[in-house]
Structure 1
């Protein structure tokens, strides 16, 4: 049985995240919990003068109307899922919504979230949700591109390997949680030690009952994210597995990094652990 939390972002990509999470639950006696964040404008109350409640009322009422509209759309979409599910709203009454959702995700096998929105405003919401869960839950996160078609059976995964603990954790989490027969372990321009460990990792996965092989890829000046996504595309893979945030979150966001690039550009779902 697998329990997946789908952290909704109020972007068009939520439909794809729900569909792919449902595909991983179907046939495994699993369950989805869909969590809708609700941004109530309570944080501004202290700046509204002597009668904040009266002044806040129109904004609060509008936020509640938006929430109900979103929940109606969500219930309609969820009714088409062929798996057991619950729907929850998180209004941040005890914490800001994203932090509360990340804390809720601690109780699940992993979380799913949309990524790769067409507009910057969409990507900003998706980045914030992914980052909150990746840093706040301690659980893996499945990032699903907004443009993904309906999910196909998961047959082949590309596992990014660089010898770091995040990479090792992602691969072990994947093996424990995601059914997939074939795995290609890929290291980009590896050192001798990393390459040796990659071959041993492939042997480990074979002993676990999976078809696995180790491969090396050369960057030739390209970003690692491009090398991995190109390899996955050429191999016909259904999933990419990576460690998340090899550097600090602030550094990744300021300078760009493999995690952020994959969130924005990957053409297939990416299973992250950190």
Structure 2
């Protein structure tokens, strides 16, 4: 993972994203691409007297805020030991990330674990995962590090999405002190058993241990998170949106719940 794409925005998750992105870039000897996607476009308004006028004050305030944010990030990165560059694009966050992800190996986004009433992180995650082929590191707001050398958990259900996430995470799993493959008995037939995932990792020189869990707790996601905690995992690898996104939004789902509740970073792909 030599190209790390960081979503830059002045929100509650920025510090956690920045620290995680630096940790990943350092661990992989990579390059950090800081992307500020600003959806602002000059607005037009009718005041009823003079007709249409440009709300230039809004544009000025937006530019000033962007410059302050850029100065802050560049000042921080000047003292870090990783190569980086900063870019600004005039686009919504999800569209800007998607359009600039073609040569990224991983992008760093926030989970929805901060402000529970803020739907923006969840919307960005959904849009980005559905419109790119790049894995995302989903970082909780209160976790200001990413330990690439810690233990890793792979949430495995034998699905296409789980396979994509596993393949994408191989460079990171090479650095892990231990790799645990977790399956949860949901009374469903899996396309690929966990042994297949373990064999795949072995071909890459990665040793793994399989754990089969029973879904006795209130939900699959509760079993996954409690098991990851018991194994002292630094992060979890998982496939995202195995069902339709609309269904997950309306009725819940493992992806949505973990994006909101999981206390450790997630590496996800669809």
When normalised by structure 1's length, the TM-score is 0.87
Residues 141-162 of structure 1, C-alpha deviation per residue, up to 9 Å, x if partnerless?
1101110143334231110111
RMSD of aligned residue pairs (Cα, Å): 2.4
Distance 2:22 2:34 in 1: 11
Residue 234 of structure 1 is matched in structure 2 by 230
User: Would you say the 8 A contact 1:9–1:125 is kept in 2?
Assistant: no
Residue 242 of structure 2 is matched in structure 1 by 246
Residue 70 of structure 1 is matched in structure 2 by 69
Q: Given the alignment, which residue of 131, 135, 146 partners 1:140?
A: 135
- Number of equivalences: 268
Q: How does 1:1-274 map to 2 (within 5 A)?
A: 2-42=2-42, 44-45=43-44, 52=52, 54-92=53-91, 96-121=92-117, 123-176=118-171, 178=173, 179-189=175-185, 194=190, 197-274=193-270
User: Would you say the 8 A contact 2:33–2:84 is kept in 1?
Assistant: yes
Offset at residue 9 of structure 1 (A): 3.8
Change (3 A) 1:47 1:77: farther
Change (3 A) 1:226 1:36: same
Residues 69-104 of structure 1, C-alpha deviation per residue, up to 9 Å, x if partnerless?
222222233334321111111222xxx442122121
Offset at residue 273 of structure 1 (A): 0.5
Q: Which runs of 5+ in 1 are unaligned?
A: none
Q: Which runs of 5+ in 2 are unaligned?
A: none
Higher helix share: 1
Change (3 A) 1:189 1:80: farther
User: Would you say the 8 A contact 1:157–1:182 is kept in 2?
Assistant: yes
User: Would you say the 8 A contact 2:15–2:144 is kept in 1?
Assistant: no
When normalised by structure 2's length, the TM-score is 0.89
* 1:35 match: secondary structure: strand
Distance 1:141 1:86 in 2: 19
Residues 80-137 of structure 1, C-alpha deviation per residue, up to 9 Å, x if partnerless?
4321111111222xxx44212212112211111122443235x422222222221112
